[in-house]
Structure 1
Amino acid sequence: MACNDNVIKNMANEISRNCQAVNFTVDPEFVIYLIDLLLLNPKYGKLFAKSICRSNLDFFVKECVSLLTGDETSINTLKLQYMMQTNYDKLQNLIDKHQASIDQCLKPLLTEILDDGPELEDEQAQKKLFRKISIYIILSSGLGNPGSIVTLKEGMAALESVFSLEDLKVFVTLPRSEKIPQLNELMQITSGVRLFNRDCKKGGEGIPDLPFNIIDAGKACISSLSHSLIAAMQRVNSLTTAVADTVAVDDATGNVDVLVPPTSDLTEKDYNQIFELLAFNRQYEVFIRKLLADVETMEQDGTKDVEKVKIVLEELHTAVKYKAAVPVATVFPLFSKLWRVWRSMQNVMFLLSTVSRLMTALAHVSDQMRIPYGLLDKMLEGKSVVTDQERMSEPVSLKERLSLGSLTYLCRDSSGEITDRQVKYLGFCALCLSVGALVPSNLKVGVIKSKGTRYGFCSVKMAARFNKDPQRYVNEILNYARNNPHVINLLNIADDMSEVKHIDNLVVKILPKKQIHDRDVQTDTHPIDGYIEKDYTSNLWEWKRRACQLATIVNCQTHSTQTHYSHLRADSHTQTAPPRHRSLQTRSDAGVNTAPHHVLLWGLRGQWGDGQHAMKLGDFEKKNCE
């Protein structure tokens, strides 16, 4: 893939600069977190699959800037996830990181102690090295500040009681690999001595009262988290009730849609806004519950450590009571044991302070969210708010139970009751998630197991529909998560998204079939008044001729031309005589009779041969008479 870590870092810097250009400040590390989620969508991932084109990069940067500066709810959800990912981990991992940071800070001083090798006769250099070891032990143990003279003197006195200057001469001669374990052992014993002196009221300058503080801090942290959880659940219950009844499945196609009441002025955009608010509050709830569970564990561990400290101190007092000298083999292990228990309490206090800081940061982001109560009241009109416990324990009728028996993938787990932690998507209804609605499943309905994964549902109808084609609805959830990256880590489906990031189309929407009916329709005889076009003709060539004529007329224009001989024109006058009506009388009327012809040329028509001849008409008539 063309997008390596350096390329993504450069993208994040460019996006941050573009956001600053519009007076919007964003952390580049948070932008990197957002880019990693967006690249799971092939719409953006394929832009940089082979090479990086400047036009594609500009498009991606523009999309990221628009997302960061526009959609506040989903971005705040991503901020919660980023805070938890960067500032929180498993408790032991947090302790290890904290100890590693302390060791890293003390590494220069430790290196100086290990490399320092004063001469045996140079007593001043040996005392200087002894002082450095005391400072290192105080800093490493966290029991006070060596900058305080009283604390430093107390630390040096405790070290001198278990590690004399003669022992220091032997320490200098040891190889480097053996010095570090001995320093750690000295730190434990010396710290145990200081803690014992504090309990005896003979020292303890700069050492906090952890047994008291750890109990008090644990109770305060639990109380604060509990109040935050109660407030979050009130918002979650209201938002869930508002959208729980709006998700419906089409029986014919199986498409999951959001039903908007036709009588209200609500739109699908309003429901999507509530879906995003519900996702934010659910994410906040998940983190608060996680922190609360960890703090309860910390409080239990802290209480046990306080009891252990009391027991170890009693053992120490018993070991040294009324004795002028105590064997090293007896008392040193007790000092080390006391220090290890105290270190455990220090770790608990560090975890409590980490949780407290993180809780404050999460609450700051949560306070920025504003719920549109006017819109929410419209959705809740005529409904009563239902809690998650009530929704998850709704009874299932006998008829619905019988219908569940026909489901192919219904999970019948006889080992025990299934909890929401064993169900995919944090126990939310799988069908409702395909449109973004986080509705808790009713485990009394049962779960459907497909490809080794359990899925829960809020109703029997949803379970029956999912049973027909499980993979289709799983793909719809992944497709929704592509376009809404804030739900990827909320539902813990980052691995599933990585498996399908090269597939362009995960979902094919099934269109409803058109229903055709045969019906008779009676129409009016002449619903429109008749009109006869006089110039109408059915001859296509006539229409073409008219079109050509009109095209020719359009291109014609009337103009006049002045010639050289125009000035020679002159007016001419013509005299005419009007016609006259006259009648003429001839002298006489007379008629003339012409002499008739009595000769006929016989044989011109219809006769063959040369017998043509002229004959008189009188002879011809006589001949005919004969």
Structure 2
Amino acid sequence: MAEKNEIVADVCRKVKGSSREIVSLFCEIVAFESGDKFDLTKKLSDDEAADLANHVADRLKEKNDVGAETLKMQARFHSAYAEELENVESMHRLKQSAMDELRQDIVKMKPTSETDFETISMLHRRIFSFLMLAYDEKLSAVEREVAAAMESVFPRAGLKSFVALSVSDKSNQLMELFNIVFGIRLFNKEVGKGGVSIDNVPQNLLRDCASLTAKLEEETRAAMTQITSTTDAACFVAQKLSEGDEETMNQRLGRVKMELIHRHQYYHFLSSLLDEINATVANAEEMHERYSKQMKDLTTLVGGRSSVPKDQVYPKFDILAATWMRLDALWQTVKAFERIFKCLQSYKEPFESIFAGNDIDADAVMGASETSLLPEAGEEAADENTSAMIVQIKEGEEVPVPALHGFCPVSLVEQRGLLRRGQTDKGMVLNEQSLYACVDDNAQRLLVRNPTKYTAGVLSVVKDLPQLVHLLRLDANFPSLSVQRALANEPVKTYSHRPKMVDADSQTPTHFVEKNIDYSYDWNEWNLRRRALQLADLRNKATVSTQSNQSHFRRDVDTQHYSPRQQATQTMKESSTNVPKNERTLVGGRGNPENRVKVVNMQLEL
């Protein structure tokens, strides 16, 4: 058993130079064209997988196949578009991840004491490394300039106060320091005193935008010229075929139709790229004007002064750096668009055009598209249940986007895949909440008389020409042929030509009544008895309180007093005195028995 990814890998090994995106799309197309033979919604047997891989490899190896080249262009453009923009985002995420990782290390570092000079020095080096993440080239001149800017904004003495901050405050202060230091270097580059290795992003962005816009506009005009000549050739061949020259023109008509589809698809991709770059140019011009104004304000504020107030200049450096980074992000996007454009140009004409040989003379077919190839509206039987109507677009109103990407459904059905751009200036046909643009008034009448025929006929034509699914924006009708889904490798439940089935079920709630739980409920008899006794005992209890007259309606107040100052006197002589000490004692109590005891008073001067 084999899955789609295994089949795609097998085909990539067989066909050298084929990308997985193109092979994945061709697997879906071959499976769609084969009916029920290959079902990619489940695992295929080994024989089925080998057979499908061989069919896909044969289709990819065909030379000068316009339809296959159109499908390759669709797959490659979308994959290149996604890859290039993803690369830009991944580079930004990688740089941001490195900054976040180092920033987390910095905010977690904490010296054990004020004398922990080793940790403080390591913290200072980490902060310097964090500031150097803004530059790809680690030049000595850049390091010196960053170190000088860091010392002026965040000197080493400020590390003690930085360590005392909270984690969130540290993180915010680091980002401010990062922008301020980078803004200082931008200003130094502007005044010619530094800014080594910093690109002139504002000027480079406008230059690349102008260059890419000019290339796209020129290529778009050339593609439209080719569409006009190819449409004339298709109408010329169709006229010859209707005149009876079937032997020489029948094969050419199919070839010209396929070339016309390819050129319309190429023009559509160019137009989408041009719209993207025009929106980017408008944003770039606005950001460049803002950056120039900020730089001018800084130059006016700083001027030739040696010192300026930090609370005024540092916020301007911060804003200047943030604006420059947005301009740099736009520049990376423009360079990605340029790579996408180069990839698209490789599919401009990967086949031998019908005008290259002597099959069709370009001068002979000029203006052939002005002739109508459609039957008259009176010859068609009108649909009885039709609700289609012609809607006129008033002057000044925005023209809505028509269905089928603006192509005429009548021409698609009547000429079996001939693309003709509809005209909206004469109104559009409204049918089932969809607006259709028709090539002329006769096509409008045909569509209004029988809309079901042409809406269903378009789907029938697209089944035979899968290149039209993406161009006509019919991905919802043909999910298995959707380019985006094939590139995303998403399985589809069913193909459009198979019977539509659906699994349905119903579910009812287990409990229709919401839960009403009484958490105070108790079923235990002894607990209930104990509770009853407590409640009965409360009947003989009374809750009383007393209040003294002194505390009645009294507030809690505080008083404050000032103690008297300590006073002392000072004399010219420093001395001290001792008071005489009076002592009374008994004498004569020992010795000769004839001695009499008497009281003696003494005064001792110490």
- Indicate whether the TM-score tops 0.5: yes
Structure 2 residue corresponding to 1:99, chosen from 92, 95, 103: 92
1:279 aligns to what?
261
* Equivalence for 1:301: 283
Distance in structure 1 (CA, Å) of the matches to 2:130 and 2:139 = 14
In structure 2, what residue type is equivalent to 1:368? P
Gaps of 5+ in 2: 481-492, 500-606
TM-score, length-scaled by structure 2: 0.68
Contact 1:244 1:439 in 2 (8 A): no
SS of 1:67's equivalent? helix
1:238 counterpart (226, 229, 235):
229
In the TM superposition, what is the alpha-carbon distance from 1:436 to its structure 2 partner?
Answer: 2.1
Secondary structure of 2:299's counterpart equals: helix
From 14, 19, 27, the counterpart of 2:10: 14
Distance 1:114 1:411 in 2: 68
> What amino acid is the match of 2:183?
G
In 2 relative to 1, CA 369–230 (structure 1 residues): closer, same or farther, beyond 3 Å?
A: farther
Cα deviations by residue, 1:23-81 (Å, 9 ceiling, x for unpaired): x4311233224435555668268624555333433332232122211264233323332
Which stretch has the larger CA shift, 68-77 or 322-331? 322-331
Whether the 8 Å contact between 1:42 and 1:504 is mirrored in structure 2 is no
SS at match of 1:208: coil
Q: Contact (CA 8 Å) 2:410, 2:438: kept in 1 or not?
A: yes
One-letter amino acid of the counterpart of residue 7, structure 2: M
Cα separation, partners in 2 of 1:210 and 1:10, compared to 1, 3 Å: same
Q: Displacement of 1:138 after TM fit? A: 3.7
Residue 201 of structure 2 is aligned with which of 203, 206, 210? Answer: 210
3-state secondary structure, aligned to 1:448: strand
Question: Higher mean Cα deviation, 411-420 or 459-468?
Answer: 411-420
Partner of 2:339: 357
> Which of 57, 66, 74 pairs up with 1:81?
74
The corresponding residue for 2:407 is 428
Contact 2:206/2:285 (<8 A) preserved: yes
- The one-letter amino acid of 2:280's match is M
* Partner-residue secondary structure (3-state), 2:142: helix
Indicate which of 145, 150, 155 corresponds to 1:159: 150
- Report the CA distance between 1:116 and its aligned residue: 5.1
In the alignment, the residues of structure 2 paired with residue 173 and residue 33 of structure 1 have an alpha-carbon distance, to the nearest angstrom, of: 59
- The 5-angstrom pairing of residues 446-457 of structure 1 reads 446-457=427-438
The secondary structure found in structure 1 opposite 2:44 is coil
Distance, in Å, in 1 between the alignment partners of 2:83 and 2:402 is 22
The 1:482–1:191 alpha-carbon spacing in structure 2 relative to 1, beyond 3 Å, is: farther
**Mapped pair 1:495 → 2:476:** yes
Measured after TM superposition, the shift of residue 238 of structure 1 is 0.9
**Aligned 8 A contact 2:80 2:340 in 1:** yes
Deviation at 1:172, TM superposition (A): 5.1
| Higher mean C-alpha deviation, range 114-123 or range 357-366 | 114-123
Look up the SS of the partner of 1:454 in the other structure. Answer: strand
CA gap of 1:462–1:318, structure 2 versus 1, over 3 A, is: same
Aligned residues of 2:393 and 2:427 also touching (Cα < 8 A): no
In 2: Cα distance, 1:445 partner to 1:223 partner:
32
Question: Alpha carbon RMSD of aligned pairs, Å?
Answer: 4.0
Rounded to whole Å, the distance in 2 between the matches of 1:385 and 1:116 is 78
Post-superposition CA distance 1:259-299 (Å, at most 9, x none):
46533653433222222222222121112222223323333
1:173-184 matches, cutoff 5 A: 179-184=170-175
Return the alpha-carbon distance in structure 2 between the equivalents of residues 173 and 266 of structure 1: 89
Matched-pair contact (CA < 8 Å) for 2:390–2:427: yes
**TM-score, length of structure 1 as denominator length:** 0.66
Structure 1 residues 483 and 179: alpha-carbon distance in aligned structure 2, compared to 1, 3 A threshold: farther
Describe the superposition over 1:101-147 as per-residue Cα deviations: whole angstroms up to 9, x where unpaired.
4324656655654565565545455444434433433434xxx4342
Tell whether the 8 Å contact from 2:423 to 2:437 is kept in structure 1 after alignment. yes
Contact between 1:445 and 1:458, CA under 8 Å: does it hold in 2?
A: no
Instruction: Please point out which of 67, 74, 78 is paired with 2:59.
Output: 67
One-letter amino acid matched to 1:278: L
* Contact kept in structure 1, 2:287 and 2:323, CA below 8 Å: yes
The equivalent of 2:447 in structure 1 is: 466
Distance 1:46 1:351 in 2: 40
* Structure 2 contact 205–331 (Cα < 8 Å) conserved: yes
* Aligned counterpart in structure 2 of residue 54 of structure 1, from 38, 46, 58: 46
Change (3 A) 1:461 1:15: same
Q: Is the 8 A contact 1:38 1:482 kept in 2?
A: no
Instruction: Compare 345-354 and 458-467 and name the one that shifted more.
Output: 458-467
Q: 1:204-233: per-residue Cα shift (whole Å, max 9, x none)?
A: 000112233223222221222222223222
- Please state how far the C-alpha of 1:13 moved relative to its aligned partner: 0.6
- Give the distance between the partners of 1:273 and 1:495, measured in 2 at CA: 27
Q: Is structure 2 residue 118 aligned with structure 1 residue 137?
A: no
Q: Which moved more, 1:159-168 or 1:114-123?
A: 114-123
The residue aligned with 1:615 is none
The 5 Å alignment of 1:29-48 reads 29-36=21-28, 43=35, 47-48=39-40
1:316-395, aligned counterparts within 5 Å?
316-321=298-303, 325-366=307-348, 368-373=350-355, 378=360, 382-385=364-367
User: 1 CA distance for matches of 2:23 and 2:146?
Assistant: 47
Q: Which amino acid aligns with 2:21?
A: E
User: Amino acid of the residue matched to residue 31 of structure 1?
Assistant: V
Q: 2:390 aligns with which of 395, 402, 411?
A: 411
**156, 161, 184: which one aligns with 1:193:** 184
Q: CA deviation at 1:503?
A: 4.1
Shift of 1:324: 5.0
Q: Is the 8 A contact 1:42 1:503 kept in 2?
A: no
Q: State the secondary structure of the residue aligned to 2:463.
A: helix
Answering whether residue 206 of structure 2 is matched by residue 224 of structure 1, we say no
1:82 Cα deviation (Å)? Answer: 2.7
Identity fraction in percent: 19
CA spacing shift, 1:180–1:68, aligned 2, 3 Å: farther
SS of 2:186's equivalent?
helix
